[in-house]
Each structure stands twice: as structure tokens, then as C-alpha cells.
Amino acid sequence: MRVEEIYRRDLNLLVALQILVEERSVSKAADRLNLSQSAMSRVLGRLRSLLSDPLFTRQGQHLVPTEKALSMSRALDEPLGSLRQLLSPLDFDPKSCDQTFTILTTDYALQTILPFALPRIYQEAPNVAFEFLPLQDEHLKEQLTYGRADLAICRPIYSIEPLHYETLGRVGVSCLLSKQHPLANQQMCLEDYLNFPHAMIAISDGVKALIEQALENEPKRRMILRAYHLEAALAIVDTMPIIITVPADLAYLVSERYDLAVKPLPFHFTPFDYSMIWHPRCEHSPAQEWLRSIVKEECGRLIAKRVIDMGLDAEADTTALPE
């Protein structure tokens, strides 16, 4: 198709398609475009005619995009992102920014990493707001692509292409025990670790799989509890002789708060990389470039300090991000 033929097309329809895919709702898309619901329905009709595809089917109160709609949305990400950059002001002033940033995160990162960046963020940009949403490992790409999230902070378990990422630092693993635990006042050996019951927290970003990989030739541990929040394990830590395996810096923070003992793993375990991840459409956004720079600087410095304070091996081979 020649350039002059593109000029004769209503390219606003493509913007409407992108928003419909993001919202999965005619009424919500209408609100974002400042249109009536009937006008938005007519836009959808014109899109169906233009692209020769139904684009959406209805499931309850939601629209389910067809493969053609999803394919078009993916193809539009980069050009629409470039247009946003071209049409946005070149100068970014954090003090006048009133954007709400949506960040996908694990409970671990929300407790031990992000809070330490927030004071500087609010100092530089007092009018910004944040919405933190639970990260779903299997759907990370979809959450960043269609969920309008700006950033994810985690250790990705599945492939993240074509997302962009930057490593924040290394995270090790330690064990939490009650001070009444039989091992609280003695060194824990591998046999101890294998014989006592365990609790594993889902905030650990795939730590369970990494632990099992390191122990693949050893007998299986007795896992009596697996939960999303650490509080579930802490509720029974004084009543059963459990070992709770969590990221090391979380272990140290929690041990001070709940008067628990911290023990190193009694076998070799390579610390893993923790990263921030974003969609290519966010790459050149001045506001998000500013946010990523602060998260990188503040959280990276924090993680590096903890590596030193806790004696983690900063020179160990990294666990590569999945491609």
C-alpha cells in the first residue's frame, strides 16, 4: 500500500482497536476516547469492515479478542509508542508529573525492595501515585502488553521476549527458624535440612524449583505448607519445627520483626538475578525512563549492600534470564 493510500484511511480506528484490546469493553473504551457507547459501537463496526474480521466475541460482560485483533494490537505497539513519543513534550519535570504508575510485583519485592525507592520518588515527584498489582508468572507478558502495567519487578521464570529488562542485582536464599527450633542454636547441615519439615512461600520467585534443582540427587523434603504470603508460615513457626526458605534479605528483615533465627543454606546455591521488566512501548516514555532510573539506582544500591552485608557471593555465576 502506498503512503498516499494510508492517508485516505482513518488511522484513528487503529488507536480505537488498541484501546478495545486493552479494555475488553466497549463502554470502558468509550470512556477513554470520550465517546458515547453507541459511537464506540459504530467505531467497532467500522473496524470490522476495515479489517474483514469480527475482531471480538462477547463472553459475559467482556469482549474476547480474535487472533486477528491480538495480532494487530501487537503490531501496533511499536508505531503507536513512537507516535506518543513524537507528540509528547520533550522536557520532563518530575515535580509537575501527576501520573499513576502501575507496577507488577511479587510480595517479596513489595516488602523488601520497592519501599526503599519510594521516599526518593516522592521527594522528586510528590504528585505521582502507584498501583501495585500481583505478578502472575505465566502471564507476565500479557500483563505488561495488554494490562497497561508500566513495570514489573521480579525474577522471571518464563520467556520474556520481546520485553525489555535490566538487572537490579543478586538475591540469595536463607532459612528462617523459630528460636525454639532444635537447630536454632547450632549449625544446620544438609541432613538436618532434608529431615525437618518445610514451608515454602510463593513470593520466592521460583526459588522452590531452584532449590529442587540444587538437591536433585537428594531425598525429597517434606513440604507441609506452601502459601502465597509469609504470614501463613509464621503462624505455625513456633508450634512446629519447620524450616522456611525465603530470599535472604527478606529473611533478615522478618527475623528482626518476629524474633526468628536465620540460617544459611547448608549446600551450594547460586544467588539469582532480580530484574525490572517493561514493554517496548514504555521504552522512550520520559516519565517511565525517570521511574526506571530511580528504581535501578535505589534498588540496585540496596541489593548490592545486602549482598555485602549478608556475605553472599557477588562473583558467582548468574542465573540467566529466560529468553
**Residue 216 identity:** E
Average pLDDT across the chain, whole number = 86
Q: How many helices and strands, by DSSP H and E, does the chain display?
A: 13, 12
pLDDT single digits (tens) 133-173: 988 888 888 899 887 789 999 888 888 888 999 998 888 88
Cell numbers placing 113: 525492595
Q: What is the per-residue pLDDT for 151?
A: 94
Q: Which residues contact 279 (CB under 8 A, 6 or more apart)?
A: 77, 144, 145, 163, 164
Using pLDDT thresholds of 50, 70 and 90, give the confidence band for residue 89.
low
Domains for the chain: give ranges and CATH numbers.
Answer: 3-86 (1.10.10.10), 95-166+278-293 (3.40.190.10), 173-264 (3.40.190.10)
Q: What is the per-residue pLDDT for 205?
A: 58
Give dist(CA 79, CA 128) in Å, integer: 27
**Residue 122 identity:** Y
pLDDT single digits (tens) 262-318: 999 999 888 888 899 999 988 888 899 999 999 999 888 887 777 676 665 444 444
Buried b (16+ CB within 10 A) or exposed e, 200-225: bbbbbbbbbebbeeebeeeeebeeeb
Q: What is the per-residue pLDDT for 257?
A: 87
Where does residue 55 rank: exposed (0-12), middle (13-18), buried (19+ CB within 10 A)? Answer: buried
Name the residue with cell 457507547.
Answer: 37
DSSP string, 153-212: EE---S--TT-EEEEEEEE-EEEEE-TTSTTTTSPPPHHHHHHS-EEEEGGGTTHHHHHH
Using pLDDT thresholds of 50, 70 and 90, give the confidence band for residue 244.
very high
Using pLDDT thresholds of 50, 70 and 90, give the confidence band for residue 224.
very high
Give dist(CA 287, CA 93) in Å, integer: 9
Q: What is the per-residue pLDDT for 7?
A: 55
Give dist(CA 66, CA 57) in Å, integer: 7
pLDDT greater than 60 at residue 204: no
Calculate what percentage of the chain has a pLDDT beyond 90.
Answer: 46
3-state DSSP call for residue 149?
A: coil
Q: What is the mean pLDDT of residues 192-221?
A: 85
Give dist(CA 80, CA 85) in Å, integer: 9
pLDDT single digits (tens) 9-60: 677 888 999 999 989 999 999 999 999 999 999 999 999 998 999 999 998 8
Phi-psi bin for 314: left (phi > 0), alpha (psi -120 to 50), beta?
Answer: alpha
Q: What is the per-residue pLDDT for 272?
A: 84
